Amino acid sequence: MPKEKYTSIYKDLKAKIESSEYEFQELLPSENSLILTYGCSRNTVRRAIQALVADGYVQTQQGKGVRNIFQPAIQASFTIGSIESFKESALRNHQSPKTKVLCFTELTADKKVSSRTGFPAGSELYYLQRLHYLDGKALILNHNYFLKSIAQGLTPKIAEQSIYAYLEQVLHVAIVTSKRTMTVEKMTEIDGKYLDLGDCNCLAVVSSQTYNGDGVMFEYTQSRHRPDYFCFRDNATRHP
Amino acid sequence: MPKEKYTSIYKDLKAKIESSEYEFQELLPSENSLILTYGCSRNTVRRAIQALVADGYVQTQQGKGVRNIFQPAIQASFTIGSIESFKESALRNHQSPKTKVLCFTELTADKKVSSRTGFPAGSELYYLQRLHYLDGKALILNHNYFLKSIAQGLTPKIAEQSIYAYLEQVLHVAIVTSKRTMTVEKMTEIDGKYLDLGDCNCLAVVSSQTYNGDGVMFEYTQSRHRPDYFCFRDNATRHP
DNA sequence: GCCGATTTGTCCGTATGTATC
DNA sequence: CGATACATACGGACAAATCGG
């Protein structure tokens, strides 16, 4: 049983673009012909196309058509605009991930933690430090804070595998929105202890607040990335 | 004369959210009531709401409603997902921008330039180095490559003001899509010469390829940011 | 636990405007 | 000018999730 119609059309077109069924700069079939090939309404194909625009795969132009602007050259390690667990992105890039849990505790948010994470003071939290390896190299040092009431039953064992898989598949937490900021920070002692930074004294830091389907922020994570293996990608559009 | 209907609804709701007319975590009026207040169809209000979702302002939940999750706390210097010129983002943050043109030349892309920028070898280009100041501090060192055929008549004088304003308002170039990657790189000699990096030996690098309305990539830019003034923000959504 | 009201999600069909060729 | 293509907008139908009685 497939998903919704517009999703399957989106995936089909995406696959065709990725497999170079449409050439770079070539126009895709018009909306009207897509309506015929997929047997659906115009709104539905337009919705699929808009998703491709958001991905930076195609560009639309009124009166002309939909142009393929996908270039497979650049393969970003971490794609912006969608939420992915470390394990998922590693597997997507055909790399073997490993995670080591350095620290697993529970704590109550005081003012300091509250202002850093955005959790209300007094929140009961799990706090973890995790080290992520890719192909044997230590690349990311993660500081995770999870709301205990939502990530119930989290264990170091689970944290070594995939926390997101546990949240979604076991606890049925709907993961919806994540607000992220990306900065560059001076390395700390603990960074240097676990990550091989070479002669760099800075690293890339991604801080994220993640919300569940009820609008509750249940996760704050700070990911500290070894700079030479860090690449963020996004597609922006202009609306003046 | 206003814009399209859904844009004006989007802007109106956005303004109300930003001015705390709806509280954090509060549900917005239902789609049906918005239909009445704005006198439009359901599709139109839904489109406005989807734009707010993309901005990370609200979250929708089937059967419940649309929840305000906007928190004014974090004001990012550079917002992801939209294309902004340096001048625009500076003015948005109420800061006084200044730009100094270090270098302005024309060149023909050889293989090396081609592989770095993505322009085909043989392309006729403008090449610029520009230094951007904010409130008197040198924050960003920009390397710009523009396709001569599209950015016709570019001068150092214009580059000191806003290139985007020239492209859009004078040449009527439609700026549509930009593919960006964010990395952290070791500083170079020229970085150290112009940017005050303190004791950091790295900086944040944003590389972007920008396309016009005809699907032609007309700009490649590498922006090298002083790390302590660099902040990128984005809102991600999960679609497993 | 069931039922009905409310609310958002998906999908369809149609009409009109606007840009391109 | 007409044909084609995408953009905007409207209206309606049914499904799915939520909530209260």
The number of distinct structural domains making up chain B is: 2
Residue A197 has a pLDDT of 85
Task: Using CB atoms within 10 Å of the CB of residue B164, give its burial: 0 to 12 exposed, 13 to 18 middle, 19+ buried.
Answer: buried
Q: Which of A35, A68, A101 is the last residue of a domain?
A: A68
State the pTM of this model. Answer: 0.86
Residue A240 lies in a domain: no
Average the pLDDT over A184-211 and give the result. Answer: 91
Q: Are strands B124-134 and A217-225 parallel, antiparallel or unpaired?
A: unpaired
Distance A61 CA to C15 C1' (A): 21
Tell me the per-residue pLDDT of B122-142, one tens digit each, with 9 for 90 and over. Answer: 999 999 999 998 888 898 999
Residue A18 has pLDDT above 90, yes or no: yes
Q: Are strands B58-61 and A137-147 parallel, antiparallel or unpaired?
A: unpaired
Distance B79 CA to D7 C1' (A): 27
Residue B204 lies in a domain: yes
Q: Which of B27, B46, B68 is the last residue of a domain?
A: B68
Scanning chain A, the segments in alpha helix (DSSP H) are: 5-18, 31-38, 42-54, 86-92, 111-117, 156-160, 163-165, 189-194
B76–A181 CB contact, under 8 Å? yes
Residue A239 lies in a domain: no
Select the more confidently predicted residue: A171 or A104: A104
Q: Which of A47, A68, A89 is the last residue of a domain?
A: A68
Q: How many CB atoms lie within 10 A of CB A207?
A: 21
In chain B, the N- to C-terminal Cα span, in Å, equals: 42
How many contacts (CB atoms, under 8 Å) link A and B? Answer: 171
Is A185 in CB contact (< 8 Å) with chain B? Answer: yes
What CATH number did the domain enclosing A196 receive?
3.40.1410.10
Average the pLDDT over A224-228 and give the result. Answer: 90
Residue B78 has a pLDDT of 53
Q: Are residues A18 and A97 in the same domain?
A: no
Residue A222 lies in a domain: yes
| Phi, psi angle pair for A97, to nearest 5° | -90, 155
Instruction: Compute the distance between CA of residue B229 and CA of residue A173 in angstroms, rounded to an integer.
Output: 36
Q: Are residues B120 and B141 in the same domain?
A: yes
Cβ neighbours of residue A88 closer than 8 Å, sequence gap 6 or more: A162, A164
Residue A15 lies in a domain: yes
Residue A230 has a pLDDT of 87
Bridge partner residues of A148 (DSSP): none
Say if residues A47 and A40 touch (Cβ distance below 8 Å).
no
Distance A41 CA to C19 C1' (A): 23
Instruction: Compute the distance between CA of residue A102 and CA of residue A82 in angstroms, rounded to an integer.
Output: 27
In window 46-65 of B, residues with CB < 7 A from nucleic chain D are: 47, 61-64
Q: pLDDT grade, residue A159 (50/70/90)?
A: very high
Mean pLDDT rounded to a whole number for chain A:
88
Query: Which of A90-99, B118-127, B160-169 has the least mean pLDDT?
Result: A90-99
Residue B239 lies in a domain: no
B25–A215 CB contact, under 8 Å? yes
What CATH number did the domain enclosing B57 receive?
1.10.10.10
Give whole-number Cα distances, A166 to A85, A194, B238, in Å: 11, 26, 15
Query: Of the spans A85-89, A213-217, B32-36, which averages the highest pLDDT?
Result: B32-36
Q: Are residues A166 and A222 in the same domain?
A: yes
Instruction: Compute the distance between CA of residue A150 and CA of residue A171 in angstroms, rounded to an integer.
Output: 8
Tell me the per-residue pLDDT of B31-75, one tens digit each, with 9 for 90 and over. Answer: 999 999 999 999 999 999 999 999 999 999 999 999 999 987 654
Q: Are residues A127 and A227 in the same domain?
A: yes
Interface subset of B 24-63, CB within 8 angstroms of A: 25, 56, 59, 61
Q: Are residues A99 and A41 in the same domain?
A: no
Residue B240 lies in a domain: no
Say if residues B143 and B128 touch (Cβ distance below 8 Å).
yes
Chain B CB contacts of A165 below 8 Å: none
Nearest to A184 among B71, B230, B237 (CB): B230
The pair of three-digit structure tokens given for residue A98, joined into one six-digit string: 């490993």
Residue A238 lies in a domain: no
Q: Are residues A104 and A192 in the same domain?
A: yes
Average the pLDDT over A162-190 and give the result. Answer: 88
**Cα B26 from chain centroid?**
29
Say if residues B138 and B226 touch (Cβ distance below 8 Å).
yes
Query: Which of A182-186, A232-236, B99-103 has the least mean pLDDT?
Result: A232-236
Q: Are residues A225 and A117 in the same domain?
A: yes
Tell me the per-residue pLDDT of B168-198, one tens digit each, with 9 for 90 and over. Answer: 888 888 877 899 989 999 999 999 999 988 8
Question: What totals of helices (H) and strands (E) does chain B contain, helices first?
Answer: 8, 10
**Helix pair B5-18, B42-54: axis angle to 10 deg:** 50
Residue B233 has pLDDT above 90, yes or no: no
Q: Are residues A46 and A82 in the same domain?
A: no
Q: Are residues A122 and A189 in the same domain?
A: yes
Q: Are residues A161 and A178 in the same domain?
A: yes
Q: Are residues A185 and A201 in the same domain?
A: yes
Residue B168 has a pLDDT of 85
Q: Are residues A91 and A168 in the same domain?
A: yes
Q: How does DSSP classify residue B220? A: E
Percent of chain B with pLDDT strictly greater than 90: 64
Q: pLDDT grade, residue B158 (50/70/90)?
A: very high
Mean pLDDT rounded to a whole number for chain B:
88
Residue B112 has pLDDT above 60, yes or no: yes
Q: How does DSSP classify residue A174? A: P
Q: pLDDT grade, residue A78 (50/70/90)?
A: low
- Domain extent at residue B80: 76-233
